[in-house]
Chain A
Amino acid sequence: AQSVTQLGSHVSVSEGALVLLRCNYSSSVPPYLFWYVQYPNQGLQLLLKYTSAATLVKGINGFEAEFKKSETSFHLTKPSAHMSDAAEYFCAVGNNQGGKLIFGQGTELSVKP
């Protein structure tokens, strides 16, 4: 069965610092991987997705993620955090047999001034 694990339920960084949110996947077939962001009292919105076209994927708001098959990882990074990046971030894997999206537990990002 496909799954994703997000390491760290809370991450705190200073404004301007590097953001690194970790996601590891489990899949017996090449996975489709996604990162979503959820702002308070909002639904989730797509940041980026990996579809095997390129291992480094660029998304919205300056975020990017790198697919590393050898490490079964798809970590999300941003070079310089902004206060507006404070939100909850979810990694997800897409199931090819039905199309359902399976989410990790989420990582709450705090940005300190």
Chain B
Amino acid sequence: DARVTQTPRHKVTEMGQEVTMRCQPILGHNTVFWYRQTMMQGLELLAYFRNRAPLDDSGMPKDRFSAEMPDATLATLKIQPSEPRDSAVYFCASGLVRGLPGNTEAFFGQGTRLTVV
């Protein structure tokens, strides 16, 4: 049963600490998305990758957030230093783009619930 796996599922950390969230996309998928979900802002696209290369990270606060794909089986989202306003659920999703990219279904992981105190 292919699925996107995110770790950890929950993270509580103190303000100023570094947080790393990990995502294992579905094997064979060539596109990875990172979304943040909050009550106030809804689902915001932070960044996405195609064939491990970043296509757009304009949704990310550049001074503290970074996203990478060290290899095809791992995507990471890092926050350093973390702040209380970063508290949210972070979702990773993956998809396989064949032909027109807008037609691509995204498969979501179960999310990492981050609380920064």
Contacts and interface: CB of A to CB of B under 8 A. Distances in A.
A101 B103 contact: no
Contact of B105 (A31, A46, A104, A105): A46
B56 A45 contact: no
A74 interface: no
Contacts of B31: 99
A111 to B, nearest CB: 21
Contacts of B4: 43
Interface of B: 4, 31, 33, 35, 42-43, 45, 48, 50, 55-56, 91, 93, 95, 97, 100-111
Given A32-B100, A42-B111, A98-B55, 19 more contacts: A36-B108, A43-B108, A43-B111, A46-B105, A46-B106, A49-B103, A93-B102, A94-B103, A95-B102, A96-B100, A96-B102, A97-B101, A98-B101, A99-B31, A99-B50, A99-B55, A99-B101, A100-B45, A103-B43
28 contacts: A31-B102, A32-B100, A34-B105, A42-B110, A43-B91, A43-B93, A44-B91, A45-B108, A46-B105, A46-B106, A46-B107, A49-B103, A94-B102, A96-B103, A97-B101, A98-B48, A98-B50, A98-B56, A99-B97, A100-B55, A100-B56, A101-B93, A101-B104, A103-B35, A103-B42, A103-B43, A105-B42, A106-B43
